[in-house]
């Protein structure tokens, strides 16, 4: 089950997992976009689920119905769009609550839906697409920095509870990746600073030792590895895929 799978990293992850032989359940809010991506996937047996990730109960019901109808889900990729940018001091309480529900609460509900099947199979992989802000907060992303850290703490706690069942829980921390989210961040920074988007992009690239933005498939390849049997002894980690941007060890 791959959440947020109609674009960006989520779509790339779905393609990666399907290419490895998985039957993928695509999960996002747009039925038309879901069907378009489903038609792109290699292999067979793929399905789609549509629900608004701003509605926790709709997400819970859709996931429960999929498990009931299809059977055990062995890999869960938690992924949804990030909160709006802005300084943390300007954020209203409702912004924190909305982000908390969209990210941590949905992660919890989806985990509760799929973990019983993982336990029965003795195999499970939960991969959360988070952000490098787990390690180093990103300027101008106050709400996101806060909620991403909460997700990382949730994942680390859950990993300890599930390891003995053959279930791993890990976070992938994408750096600057060529997605619509990155385009929106660049545009927002450019508008706030009264500068051109090309200048903002160059400033961001200057922070990356690799000298380029990531492609979505590069992040997806890491997700595919963590979801595979080869990743079975890796759990409770937050793995940056950032071209070396994070300065800490």
pLDDT higher than 90, residue 248 = no
- Span 68-104, pLDDT tens digits: 999 999 999 999 988 999 999 999 999 999 999 999 9
Domain 2-175+216-241: homologous superfamily in CATH: NAD(P)-binding Rossmann-like Domain (3.40.50.720)
Residue 110 confidence (pLDDT): 98
List pLDDT tens digits, range 28-47. 999 999 999 999 999 999 99
Q: What is the mean pLDDT of the chain?
A: 96
Mean pLDDT of 220-232: 98
Inter-CA distances, 133 with 106, 110, 137, 178, 247, Å:
20, 23, 4, 17, 12
Q: Which pLDDT value is given to residue 154?
A: 98
Query: What pLDDT was estimated at residue 249?
Result: 80
Q: Enter the tokens of residue 248.
A: 């800490």
């Amino acid at each position: 089950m791959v959440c947020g799978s109609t674009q960006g990293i989520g779509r790339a992850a779905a393609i990666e997992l399907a290419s490895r032989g998985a039957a993928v359940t695509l999960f996002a809010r747009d039925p038309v976009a879901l069907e378009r991506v489903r038609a792109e996937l290699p292999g067979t047996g793929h399905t789609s689920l549509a629900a608004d990730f701003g509605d926790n109960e709709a997400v819970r019901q859709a996931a429960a119905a999929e498990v009931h109808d299809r059977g055990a889900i062995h890999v869960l990729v938690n992924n949804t769009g990030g909160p709006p940018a802005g300084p943390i001091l300007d954020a209203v309480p409702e912004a924190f609550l909305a982000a908390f529900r969209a990210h941590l609460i949905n992660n919890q509900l989806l985990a509760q839906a799929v973990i019983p099947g993982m336990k029965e199979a003795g195999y499970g992989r939960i991969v959360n697409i988070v952000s490098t802000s787990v390690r180093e907060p990103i300027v101008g992303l106050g709400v996101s920095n806060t909620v991403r850290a909460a997700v990382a703490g949730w994942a680390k706690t859950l990993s300890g509870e599930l390891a003995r069942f053959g279930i791993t829980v890990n976070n992938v921390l994408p750096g600057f990746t060529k997605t619509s989210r990155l385009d929106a961040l660049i545009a927002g920074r450019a508008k706030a600073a009264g500068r051109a988007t090309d200048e903002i992009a160059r400033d961001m690239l200057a922070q990356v030792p690799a000298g380029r933005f990531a492609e979505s498939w590069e992040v997806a390849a890491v997700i595919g590895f963590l979801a595979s049997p080869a990743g079975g002894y890796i759990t409770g980690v937050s793995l940056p895929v950032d071209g070396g941007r994070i300065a800490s060890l």
